[in-house]
Amino acid sequence: MNSPKLTPEAGLEKVNDVLPIRSIHAPFRDWAAWGGHLNSWKATTALANSLPEADHITMHPPGSRLANMIQNRWFEKAYDLPLLLDAMGRIRFSLENMPWAEGSPFARDPLERLMAQCRDKNVGLTFDVCHMGVSGRDVLHAIDKVDDKLLYNVHYSDAVGYTEHLTPGSGALPLDKFLRRLGKRGYDRYITLELEPGAFPDDLDGTVAMLVAIREDMETQLAEGRKQKPCPDNTSKPSNTPNNP
């Protein structure tokens, strides 16, 4: 969602007829255009409610800047975001892990804190692989810490140093091992390719070919993981699992 003009009346049903819109990312900048951070979440939820295939919304947790103070106070007290945002029963929400700087050695682990927040708010987790990588974390160790019941979406891209959202294979993250780890645990929810605009070729044919190659490689790695025995610590499955995208 990058504009308040994206409303249920914006002709998106024509887009949905060509390529069903299943998962939406709530705005994470220029909130004044929406009338505030909270209003942007409500607008995103209203749009998802109107799209018959949509069943998931990813949101960035409110930041720590002074400008977010009002939103932070509301968010801190919110214990059921789907209910408060008037989401239809099929709509699931998840909070995304953001890049984290190394903090005090005595502070709580940011991923543990975020997962506790997800449980408190009755939402899931969107695990962004490159955000975890640029934070200096081991992405394989980190994904093993996330319970199956919390993991709703995976943002998939490569990273090196502090450079994010690179084409898979052009960075330094162990993405093949990461996908096999997901396949091994039986993960069957969303995996969202999230690349910077500069990662795409200038021509349509080149873009399509690149996306086909990435998808085929992702499917191969997930299938390799599924051939392995399930991880014993991640065998619990939710009763209401959305269909594969």
At 106 the pLDDT is 55
At 70 the pLDDT is 56
Q: Look at strands 190-193 and 124-128 and give their pairing.
A: unpaired
pLDDT along the chain (245 residues), means of 10: 82 86 91 85 93 94 60 75 89 94 65 92 96 94 95 97 93 97 96 93 96 97 88 47 42
At 211 the pLDDT is 96
How many C-beta atoms surround the C-beta of residue 237 within 10 A?
Answer: 12
**pTM for this predicted structure:** 0.87
Contact 31, 67 (CB under 8 A): no
At 243 the pLDDT is 43
Instruction: Give the Å distances, CA to CA, from 160 to 65, 116, 155, 163, 169.
Output: 27, 28, 16, 5, 10
Instruction: Tell me which of 3.40.50.10420, 3.20.20.140, 1.20.1250.20, 3.20.20.150 is the CATH number of domain 97-228.
Output: 3.20.20.150
At 236 the pLDDT is 44
At 230 the pLDDT is 64
Question: Structural domain boundaries of the chain?
Answer: 97-228
- The CA-to-CA distance between both ends of the chain, in Å, stands at 19
